[in-house]
Structure 1
């Protein structure tokens, strides 16, 4: 199958690509053009349970596979990812909208995670201590947890899943990936490459869906551990529901990152660093520097230079296009939500020094970089995660 011509996004269940006849579906957009490029079925509870069952069925054989053999599959997977590096980066840009250099950096970070997981055999070594007490020896042995679940966000469709499943697989667990329904195509391509690398059927599976799918995974008795990356509100819910059901849960939420600019700072260097942090990936990352704290008299010249620099950034479609500084955001409604914070800030007494709302050509979800000046901590733009190209000073 080719993810470049895909119409309905399939799930991966026990080594088979299946298109579920779901009553609900979501649309996958190309943010650069605003076009629908695929439809993803939102799986029901029963359909989701069948994916978990496939992972559970594959667990005994995979957990009994020697660690060096598991690592060998991951070595081959790493080779295939490197071989198709540019193809994968282009796919990330196509379904997410980030620039091609940003997508290449994402694929590179993913490669590094696979390489880390390839070293699992040495990390899985146990310990022994003879004569810990009279006629007693102590020994520790590491065992797989079981079926692991990864629930991943839209902003890094390739990298974040690779934070999770390579290590889980290397340790002898089986895995169910629930990617964001906004960006499922990178997950599908990873599933194809894992099969090509020789991963046995059922060891890695993909389920697509929204809340119903996620809640099924959180409560399923055969799921042992859950890893989540997303908004803080959902992270708290995932943690509460998952732990209530006896799962091991790690849930990473959002952030509001502050960067402090001192009076003796090099403004040229500071402005470039601030812009890279705030506007990279169109601000859609939890590590974005979204608030600049200007100390002393540096504020006014900082804002002036920020507006000049940010206003000069080339904003435009990224799919197949080089030389763009910032691409679109993920959805039209997300663009409108981010833009609404400019009006909110003005209503609360801040100054919109640079307004990113422009008349861009085409139907892509484009929004230029914005700078909001004279922001107080209690203002919404000062403490809420906007997740877009907006920098508060």
Structure 2
């Protein structure tokens, strides 16, 4: 075992909630330990474990700040987002370290996340001069008819641990530009990055009460959903929790925006460029240890090229080096916590029971000198029945199911057989097959001959079926969540 690395201490105020411009502990005084998944002996600190009383204070602060923030107008609000983007650039190293240390991802992946967050801020700020309505013909003489948007009000933003900076940013940025005020409730697994973001917004001049931070788990989140002054909740996470949020808010007609995971397939047809397909599958399945809603979880491969594809794939995956995110030779990071590690290993065991053959990986990483952490071997499993648990249910870990297909139509049937529909990818040399796959794939984000992960800041981040409910994120369509349409007819 290596010694516990010496780390820069976390600022004391970052352990707290941020409500109405002030850092404060949870009302109960309760805390939760934040651990580094690459070395479980490395504790980042004891972060606030909030309850309903903390959420109540945060919502009250947001409601009080709403009239002045709304009156500021989108162009002046955009200036704060531009300033926030500069803060992220100036403190890139600090954000990168925090993301790597508390989430586990490679430094290269963490830096890419900071860049993605900055791109979202840049795009969103640019929307300030476009956030309007339309004029329309009137049915009477001397009447002017038009539409316009108003901010929804106070919104709750519930973000996950897998992108602890980018996803909060792509919720916070449109919420603030639209004129809403917000309460951010991040995952309890990644509280530090959210605190750094909130502090950066403070330095960027965002007024007190406009953006509030409540750390904690389900109790704080449930209070957001139940609060009568919260007009909408944007949530990214599991299908079970998203469904519970929507159900709990339905009696009071709470507006929800829910991104709920995926079971994404890459289809490899008989005419595919196999080397290119292997590159994409390795990136999609094992980048960030498979902990992405758009991660490649299934490779649906034409039987005619399956063996050749697997020969290339297994050689690549077996050679991947798993290690701490801050180690320069690491190629695959740990998963985020022991529970996620157990879930990934349980999924492998279940696949074996269902007749799957593990071609590489399948267990924890045991290497001399590696700290005690949440390391799972990158795993490829062949002979996976299309309707088995591994082929149908989300794993959120470095486990790839390989499912055989008899041609194009069978591959699409298998790809569309799951309840999710986040991302869909096809590798083929046929232009006709490519366009037909895009037309028939039951997924929100579609790719041809490229990795099935990653998206642009200006394109909708959206799923289909059980992967999404409500308007997309990261696009002009996001305003349909954060604003409400109004119409006006003025006679003169």
SS at match of 1:150: strand
* CA contact 1:218–1:226 (8 Å) conserved in 2: yes
Deviates more, 1:52-61 or 1:259-268: 259-268
Among 299, 316, 332, the residue aligned to 2:306:
299
* Cα 1:3/1:191, change in 2 over 3 Å: farther
Report the TM-score, using the length of structure 1 for normalisation.
0.95
The structural deviation recorded for 1:301 is 2.5
Report the TM-score, using the length of structure 2 for normalisation.
0.77
Deviates more, 1:356-365 or 1:244-253: 356-365
Q: CA–CA distance in 1 between the matches of 2:274 and 2:132? A: 50
Among 247, 252, 257, the residue aligned to 2:254:
247
* CA contact 2:164–2:193 (8 Å) conserved in 1: yes
The structural deviation recorded for 1:303 is 2.0
Among 351, 354, 372, the residue aligned to 2:357:
351
Within 5 Å, which residues of 2 pair with 1:32-181? 32-34=38-40, 35-129=42-136, 131-181=138-188
Structure 1 match to 2:456: none
Asked if 1:366 is matched to 2:375, the reply is: yes
SS at match of 2:89: helix
Among 391, 400, 404, the residue aligned to 1:391:
400
Q: CA–CA distance in 1 between the matches of 2:305 and 2:161? A: 36
Within 5 Å, which residues of 2 pair with 1:262-277? 262-277=269-284
Structure 2 match to 1:334: 340
SS at match of 1:290: strand
Structure 1 match to 2:450: none
* Cα 1:349/1:84, change in 2 over 3 Å: same
Q: CA–CA distance in 2 between the matches of 1:350 and 1:130? A: 63
* Cα 1:126/1:37, change in 2 over 3 Å: same
Q: CA–CA distance in 1 between the matches of 2:195 and 2:157? A: 14
Deviates more, 1:292-301 or 1:160-169: 292-301
Deviates more, 1:146-155 or 1:231-240: 231-240
* Cα 1:3/1:197, change in 2 over 3 Å: farther
Among 5, 10, 26, the residue aligned to 1:5:
10
SS at match of 1:22: coil
Note the residue ranges of structure 2 that are not aligned, 5 or more in a row: 1-6, 403-492
The structural deviation recorded for 1:23 is 6.0
Among 182, 200, 208, the residue aligned to 1:201:
208
Structure 1 match to 2:25: 19
* CA shift digits 1:260-300 (9 cap, x unpaired): 11122222222121111000110000101110011022122
* CA contact 1:254–1:286 (8 Å) conserved in 2: yes
Structure 2 match to 1:278: 285
Note the residue ranges of structure 1 that are not aligned, 5 or more in a row: none
